[in-house]
Structure 1
């Protein structure tokens, strides 16, 4: 985990051109960035089907405000003074369609969390400054987690993933925690999950079911004492307000819960009959096959030092 109270990013004209070209691949032509005092000039050609031509667009951006994750930029034309307004608007909408953010009424709103959706990071934006040499972005309260997103990219459609239970599971003394956990994961999965986390969503949705499974095993008379200790330690970790991976980054806080649950079930499988484990699983599918698939994914994503720390929780 990387923490920093303040970080300053300096982006040159080349940096900005490469970043914008990455978003606008195939949608615009001849993209160029020029920096001036207090302004960014963007030149590009936008294919407009209605007129069957690539319309040259030259725009001037100035910073209006920068706070939280959002940058607001004022937008004005620097060319096409004699071109009809409808054609300019068509070219403008087409240009912004290819770029991140949202344009409306002369204001371009850029959410940096969307730009960085492939990176597990949280921050607060302090300010943005433009001068002839660079665009300077000042961040505070930066927290980044070194997840290997290339490992997530290895997931293929149809890979073995858990199917979470569709009904609430009754666990009297822990019902409030269970419902809160279930709702939290559902909320992030449905509306806030960043792009990098998408392959993990089916697994994170099943975290509450693994919690239920471990509570059931901790109570089951057929489970030997050593396995009950593993289940109890994992349940206690779930209930603890302290995580190995802090929560400010969406869904990161649930990843260590998932990793610990998978490791716990793997260890318990050496001590508990398979049919007892399967009976305790409230989801669908063979739970031990799911655990092995989940551990394969987690081991490609979470740094080894975090996995080692999770294993130590089970040995205490």
Structure 2
């Protein structure tokens, strides 16, 4: 996953599928570990692979406009980048919390712009998508407070929101 597709700046479909499988395997391993069982964020981390899958499937939907595709593509790239605000290499599965917050923001933004039906048809999670987004949004402030460069993330989110309007 070192190389991004230069035409779209997102990983190839095979790289995305490989990432999804690795993410699922890591999640199962983490959830059975001692620290995974004790983490207060475990129930939210379970949504990480499903949200990643949703972003990938939504990106290929012809009903999604170019600006929304760009935002979705950037969030997919953020998932697979080895270095981010909360690096998985240092924090383990807890490092996916920032990815989760960004994915939730992107999905909410696109849903608000295009309507929930466009996004929900790609959702494969067990819980209803709107319930999942609400659960994550409730803890997102706590998660973002742990990000050392929180103001940079907030500016990015604010900037992307304005671009999609």
Tell me the TM-score normalised to structure 1 length.
0.42
Partner of 1:309: 152
Q: Is the 8 A contact 1:188 1:251 kept in 2?
A: yes
Q: Is the 8 A contact 1:277 1:287 kept in 2?
A: no
> Which gives a bigger RCO, structure 1 or 2 (Cα 8 Å, sep 6+)?
2
Structure number with higher strand proportion: 1
Structure with bigger gyration radius? 1
Map 1:221-240 → 2, pairs under 5 A: 221-240=62-81
Q: Is the 8 A contact 1:177 1:239 kept in 2?
A: yes
Counterparts in 2 of 1:238 and 1:200: CA distance versus 1, 3 Å: same
Instruction: Give structure 1 stretches of 5+ with no counterpart.
Output: 1-170
Alpha-carbon offset, residue 194 of structure 1? 5.1
Report whether the alignment pairs 1:293 with 2:131: no
Partner of 2:6: none
Map 1:126-137 → 2, pairs under 5 A: none
Tell me the TM-score normalised to structure 2 length.
0.76
- 2-structure distance, mates of 1:309, 1:211: 22
Q: CA RMSD in A?
A: 2.4
- 1-structure distance, mates of 2:57, 2:83: 23
SS in 2 for 1:243: coil
Counterparts in 2 of 1:302 and 1:276: CA distance versus 1, 3 Å: same
Alpha-carbon offset, residue 244 of structure 1? 0.7
Q: Is the 8 A contact 1:193 1:250 kept in 2?
A: no
Q: Is the 8 A contact 2:85 2:148 kept in 1?
A: no
Instruction: Give structure 2 stretches of 5+ with no counterpart.
Output: 1-12
Which of 50, 54, 74 is the equivalent residue of 1:209?
A: 50
